[in-house]
Amino acid sequence: MFWRVMYTMMQPMDIKSQSFGTGLFGYKKSEVDQYVDTVYRAYDELFTENKKLREEQDKLNRVIEENRVKLFELENKAGGTVDTSAAEAEKERIISEARKTAADIINAAKTEGDKIAGVAGEASGAGFDDISLEEAKKDSASGNSATSKFFQQSDSQVFGDGDDDVFVGEIEDNRKPNKVMIGDGEEGEAEDFEFL
Protein backbone atom coordinates (compact mmCIF):
# COMPACT_ATOMS: atom_id res chain seq x y z
CA MET A 1 0.00 0.00 0.00
CA PHE A 2 2.78 2.46 0.94
CA TRP A 3 4.88 1.75 -2.17
CA ARG A 4 1.95 2.52 -4.49
CA VAL A 5 1.73 6.03 -3.10
CA MET A 6 5.46 6.53 -3.64
CA TYR A 7 5.17 5.96 -7.42
CA THR A 8 3.40 9.32 -7.73
CA MET A 9 6.08 11.24 -5.86
CA MET A 10 7.95 14.09 -7.51
CA GLN A 11 10.90 13.06 -9.65
CA PRO A 12 14.35 14.59 -9.03
CA MET A 13 14.35 16.16 -12.50
CA ASP A 14 11.12 18.01 -11.60
CA ILE A 15 13.14 19.89 -9.00
CA LYS A 16 16.13 20.42 -11.30
CA SER A 17 14.00 21.81 -14.14
CA GLN A 18 11.88 24.12 -11.96
CA SER A 19 12.11 27.74 -13.07
CA PHE A 20 11.26 30.82 -11.06
CA GLY A 21 9.58 33.96 -12.30
CA THR A 22 10.74 37.34 -11.16
CA GLY A 23 8.64 39.74 -9.16
CA LEU A 24 9.04 43.40 -8.41
CA PHE A 25 12.76 43.16 -7.69
CA GLY A 26 13.35 39.51 -8.61
CA TYR A 27 15.45 36.89 -6.91
CA LYS A 28 19.20 36.53 -6.78
CA LYS A 29 19.66 33.96 -9.51
CA SER A 30 22.82 32.47 -8.00
CA GLU A 31 21.14 31.85 -4.63
CA VAL A 32 18.07 30.26 -6.23
CA ASP A 33 20.26 28.08 -8.46
CA GLN A 34 22.39 27.00 -5.50
CA TYR A 35 19.31 26.17 -3.43
CA VAL A 36 17.65 24.22 -6.25
CA ASP A 37 20.88 22.29 -6.83
CA THR A 38 21.16 21.41 -3.13
CA VAL A 39 17.54 20.27 -2.94
CA TYR A 40 17.98 18.32 -6.18
CA ARG A 41 21.02 16.42 -4.88
CA ALA A 42 19.38 15.59 -1.53
CA TYR A 43 16.13 14.54 -3.14
CA ASP A 44 17.91 12.47 -5.80
CA GLU A 45 19.75 10.50 -3.11
CA LEU A 46 16.53 9.93 -1.17
CA PHE A 47 14.64 8.97 -4.32
CA THR A 48 17.32 6.45 -5.33
CA GLU A 49 17.42 4.95 -1.84
CA ASN A 50 13.63 4.73 -1.78
CA LYS A 51 13.61 2.94 -5.14
CA LYS A 52 16.18 0.39 -3.90
CA LEU A 53 14.14 -0.25 -0.76
CA ARG A 54 10.94 -0.76 -2.76
CA GLU A 55 12.72 -3.31 -4.94
CA GLU A 56 14.07 -5.10 -1.88
CA GLN A 57 10.64 -5.09 -0.25
CA ASP A 58 9.12 -6.60 -3.40
CA LYS A 59 11.82 -9.27 -3.34
CA LEU A 60 11.05 -10.10 0.31
CA ASN A 61 7.33 -10.26 -0.44
CA ARG A 62 8.05 -12.78 -3.23
CA VAL A 63 10.13 -14.86 -0.78
CA ILE A 64 7.25 -14.84 1.71
CA GLU A 65 4.84 -16.00 -0.99
CA GLU A 66 7.23 -18.76 -2.11
CA ASN A 67 7.54 -19.97 1.49
CA ARG A 68 3.76 -20.02 1.84
CA VAL A 69 3.50 -22.13 -1.33
CA LYS A 70 6.17 -24.52 -0.02
CA LEU A 71 4.34 -24.81 3.27
CA PHE A 72 1.06 -25.50 1.49
CA GLU A 73 2.73 -28.23 -0.59
CA LEU A 74 4.23 -29.80 2.54
CA GLU A 75 0.84 -29.84 4.22
CA ASN A 76 -0.74 -31.49 1.18
CA LYS A 77 2.01 -34.14 1.01
CA ALA A 78 1.53 -34.97 4.65
CA GLY A 79 -2.14 -35.59 3.93
CA GLY A 80 -3.16 -34.55 7.39
CA THR A 81 -1.85 -37.77 8.97
CA VAL A 82 1.25 -36.11 10.36
CA ASP A 83 1.06 -33.55 13.14
CA THR A 84 0.77 -30.17 11.38
CA SER A 85 1.86 -28.21 14.42
CA ALA A 86 5.54 -28.43 13.39
CA ALA A 87 4.73 -27.21 9.87
CA GLU A 88 2.55 -24.45 11.30
CA ALA A 89 5.37 -23.39 13.62
CA GLU A 90 7.82 -23.40 10.70
CA LYS A 91 5.41 -21.31 8.65
CA GLU A 92 5.02 -18.76 11.44
CA ARG A 93 8.78 -18.65 11.96
CA ILE A 94 9.44 -18.00 8.27
CA ILE A 95 6.76 -15.32 8.06
CA SER A 96 7.88 -13.54 11.23
CA GLU A 97 11.51 -13.69 10.11
CA ALA A 98 10.63 -12.17 6.73
CA ARG A 99 8.56 -9.43 8.38
CA LYS A 100 11.36 -8.64 10.84
CA THR A 101 13.90 -8.44 8.01
CA ALA A 102 11.60 -6.14 6.02
CA ALA A 103 11.02 -3.91 9.08
CA ASP A 104 14.78 -3.71 9.75
CA ILE A 105 15.44 -2.70 6.15
CA ILE A 106 12.73 -0.04 6.23
CA ASN A 107 14.00 1.39 9.54
CA ALA A 108 17.57 1.45 8.24
CA ALA A 109 16.39 3.25 5.11
CA LYS A 110 14.48 5.86 7.12
CA THR A 111 17.53 6.48 9.31
CA GLU A 112 19.79 6.72 6.27
CA GLY A 113 17.34 9.08 4.54
CA ASP A 114 17.23 11.34 7.59
CA LYS A 115 21.04 11.35 7.73
CA ILE A 116 21.25 12.25 4.03
CA ALA A 117 18.75 15.08 4.49
CA GLY A 118 20.76 16.39 7.45
CA VAL A 119 24.00 16.27 5.44
CA ALA A 120 22.30 18.03 2.52
CA GLY A 121 21.12 20.77 4.87
CA GLU A 122 24.63 21.28 6.19
CA ALA A 123 26.13 21.22 2.69
CA SER A 124 23.89 24.00 1.45
CA GLY A 125 25.67 26.51 3.68
CA ALA A 126 22.36 28.03 4.73
CA GLY A 127 23.02 27.43 8.43
CA PHE A 128 20.46 24.71 9.08
CA ASP A 129 20.23 23.41 12.63
CA ASP A 130 21.88 20.04 13.30
CA ILE A 131 19.41 17.25 13.86
CA SER A 132 20.51 14.44 16.11
CA LEU A 133 19.76 10.81 15.33
CA GLU A 134 17.52 10.47 18.38
CA GLU A 135 15.56 13.56 17.40
CA ALA A 136 15.24 12.23 13.85
CA LYS A 137 13.86 8.91 15.12
CA LYS A 138 11.43 10.68 17.45
CA ASP A 139 10.31 13.04 14.69
CA SER A 140 10.03 10.18 12.22
CA ALA A 141 7.64 8.40 14.59
CA SER A 142 5.50 11.54 14.91
CA GLY A 143 5.53 12.27 11.15
CA ASN A 144 8.06 15.13 11.29
CA SER A 145 11.15 13.70 9.62
CA ALA A 146 14.46 15.45 9.15
CA THR A 147 13.56 15.92 5.49
CA SER A 148 10.43 17.84 6.48
CA LYS A 149 12.48 20.00 8.87
CA PHE A 150 14.99 20.65 6.08
CA PHE A 151 12.32 22.03 3.77
CA GLN A 152 10.61 24.03 6.56
CA GLN A 153 13.88 25.62 7.69
CA SER A 154 15.04 26.34 4.16
CA ASP A 155 11.72 28.03 3.37
CA SER A 156 11.98 30.33 6.39
CA GLN A 157 15.63 31.16 5.62
CA VAL A 158 15.02 31.93 1.95
CA PHE A 159 11.95 34.09 2.48
CA GLY A 160 12.65 35.46 5.97
CA ASP A 161 10.31 35.57 8.94
CA GLY A 162 8.37 38.57 7.70
CA ASP A 163 8.02 39.53 4.04
CA ASP A 164 7.82 43.24 4.96
CA ASP A 165 11.39 43.25 6.31
CA VAL A 166 12.78 42.01 3.01
CA PHE A 167 11.29 44.74 0.81
CA VAL A 168 11.34 47.89 2.97
CA GLY A 169 15.00 48.70 2.28
CA GLU A 170 14.71 47.85 -1.39
CA ILE A 171 11.72 50.13 -1.86
CA GLU A 172 13.46 53.05 -0.15
CA ASP A 173 16.63 52.55 -2.22
CA ASN A 174 14.75 52.47 -5.52
CA ARG A 175 12.28 55.27 -4.86
CA LYS A 176 12.50 58.08 -7.40
CA PRO A 177 13.01 61.60 -6.06
CA ASN A 178 10.15 64.09 -6.39
CA LYS A 179 12.41 66.84 -7.75
CA VAL A 180 13.89 67.06 -11.23
CA MET A 181 17.01 69.12 -12.02
CA ILE A 182 17.02 71.23 -15.16
CA GLY A 183 20.03 73.12 -16.46
CA ASP A 184 21.24 74.79 -19.62
CA GLY A 185 23.93 72.14 -20.19
CA GLU A 186 26.92 74.41 -19.74
CA GLU A 187 29.48 73.44 -17.15
CA GLY A 188 30.73 75.58 -14.32
CA GLU A 189 27.72 77.59 -13.28
CA ALA A 190 25.82 76.13 -10.30
CA GLU A 191 23.10 78.80 -10.63
CA ASP A 192 22.08 77.44 -14.04
CA PHE A 193 20.35 74.43 -12.43
CA GLU A 194 16.82 74.65 -11.06
CA PHE A 195 14.66 72.11 -9.22
CA LEU A 196 11.08 71.63 -10.44
Size of the chain, expressed as the number of residues it contains:
196
The rounded mean pLDDT for the chain is 71
Average pLDDT of the segment spanning 13-41: 81
Mean predicted confidence (pLDDT) in 141-170: 53
The residue extents of the domains of the chain are 2-164
Query: Is residue 98 within 8 Å of 66, Cβ to Cβ?
Result: no
DSSP state at residue 182: E
Q: Are 185 and 195 in contact (CB under 8 A)?
A: no
Summarize pLDDT for 45-90 with one digit per residue, the tens.
898 999 999 999 999 999 999 999 998 888 888 765 556 677 788 8
- At residue 131, does pLDDT exceed 60? no
CA distance 125 to 127: 6
Single out the residue of 11, 116, 99 nearest to residue 57, CA to CA.
99
